[in-house]
Amino acid sequence: MISDRVLALLANPLEPDRPPLRLEGNYLICTKTGVGFPIIDDIPRLLPENVIPAEEMKTRLLEQKS
């Protein structure tokens, strides 16, 4: 699990203004664009090849809640 202190330091590496990320389940979601990054084995995967598009992220979050 990611601590609040670490979460406060994380930002979307794909955006020049580095918007913050919020934690939702096993994903970090960009507060500006809605894209997601998975957390696998407690490690945030913030590389471009791991990005989940915003529309797909919405679907995953809905599935995760049900």
The pTM of this model reads 0.91
Q: How many CB atoms lie under 10 A from the CB of residue 48?
A: 8
Q: How many CB atoms lie within 10 A of CB 51?
A: 20
The pLDDT of residue 55: 97
Residue 57 CA to residue 21 CA, distance in Å, equals 13
Summarised one tens digit per residue, pLDDT across range 54-65 is: 999 999 999 887
- The CATH architecture one would assign to domain 4-65 is Single Sheet (2.20)
Express each pLDDT in 27-40 by its tens digit.
999 999 999 999 99
Q: Indicate the domain borders of the chain.
A: 4-65
Distance between CA 3 and CA 12 in Å, rounded? Answer: 17
Pick from 33, 36, 32, 30: nearest CA to 56: 36
Helix (H) or strand (E) holding 65: helix 54-65
